[in-house]
Amino acid sequence: MKTTQTQPDVAVIGLGNMGSALADRLIAKGFTVTVWNRSQARTRPYVDSGIAVAATVAEAVEAAEVIVVCLLDHEATMAMVATDAVAPALKGKTLVELTTMTADKSRTLGAWADAHGIAYLEGQIQDFPETVRDGESTIICSGPTASYEAGRNVFDALSARAFHVSQNLGSAPTLVNAQLAFTYMTYVGILHGAAMCQAAGVSVDTFRDVMLLDYMRSAPFLKDVDDLVRKAQGRNFDESVGATVEVWQASLQSIVGENMQAGLETDHLKTINALMERAREAGHSEHDFAALIDTIKPRN
| Domain of residue 27, CATH code | 3.40.50.720
Please tell me whether residues 62 and 156 are part of one structural domain.
yes
Cβ 279 vs Cβ 246: under 8 Å = no
Is 5 inside any structural domain? no
Angle at CA 91, nearest 5°, toward 88 and 92?
155
Q: What is the C-alpha separation between 73 and 21, in angstroms, rounded?
A: 17
Alpha helix segments (H runs only) across the chain: 17-28, 40-48, 57-62, 74-80, 87-90, 103-115, 129-133, 145-158, 171-200, 204-206, 214-217, 221-234, 245-262, 267-281, 293-296
Mean per-residue pLDDT pooled into runs of 10, the chain (300 residues): 66 97 96 96 94 97 97 95 97 96 94 97 93 95 94 93 95 92 92 94 93 84 90 92 93 94 94 95 95 87
Give me the CATH number covering residue 229: 1.10.1040.10
Q: What is the C-alpha separation between 273 and 69, in angstroms, rounded?
A: 42
Please tell me whether residues 207 and 115 are part of one structural domain.
no
Please tell me whether residues 185 and 151 are part of one structural domain.
no
- Please say which residue of 140, 167, 194 terminates a domain: 167
Integer CA distances (angstroms), 293 to 133, 170, 252, in order: 38, 22, 17
Is 216 inside any structural domain? yes
Is 226 inside any structural domain? yes
Domain count, the chain: 2
Integer CA distances (angstroms), 57 to 44, 69, 85, 117, 136, in order: 17, 10, 9, 18, 28
- Please say which residue of 141, 167, 193 terminates a domain: 167
Pseudo-torsion of CA 160, 161, 167, 173, nearest 10°?
-100
Please tell me whether residues 143 and 233 are part of one structural domain.
no
Please tell me whether residues 228 and 84 are part of one structural domain.
no
Is 1 inside any structural domain? no
Cβ 36 vs Cβ 53: under 8 Å = yes
Is 225 inside any structural domain? yes
pLDDT the model gives residue 169 = 96
CA 14, 20, 23, 25 torsion-angle sign = negative
Is 260 inside any structural domain? yes
Cβ 103 vs Cβ 168: under 8 Å = no
Please tell me whether residues 192 and 239 are part of one structural domain.
yes
Q: What is the C-alpha separation between 262 and 113, in angstroms, rounded?
A: 55
pLDDT the model gives residue 26 = 97
Please tell me whether residues 271 and 179 are part of one structural domain.
yes
Q: What is the C-alpha separation between 270 and 258, in angstroms, rounded?
A: 13
Please tell me whether residues 47 and 191 are part of one structural domain.
no
pLDDT the model gives residue 3 = 39
- Closest CA relative to residue 95, chosen from 139, 125, 64: 64
- Closest CA relative to residue 245, chosen from 215, 204, 288, 208: 288
Please tell me whether residues 104 and 185 are part of one structural domain.
no
Number of Cβ within 10 Å of residue 273's Cβ equals: 17
Is 287 inside any structural domain? yes
Q: What is the C-alpha separation between 151 and 139, in angstroms, rounded?
A: 12
The residue segments making up the domain with residue 226 are 175-296
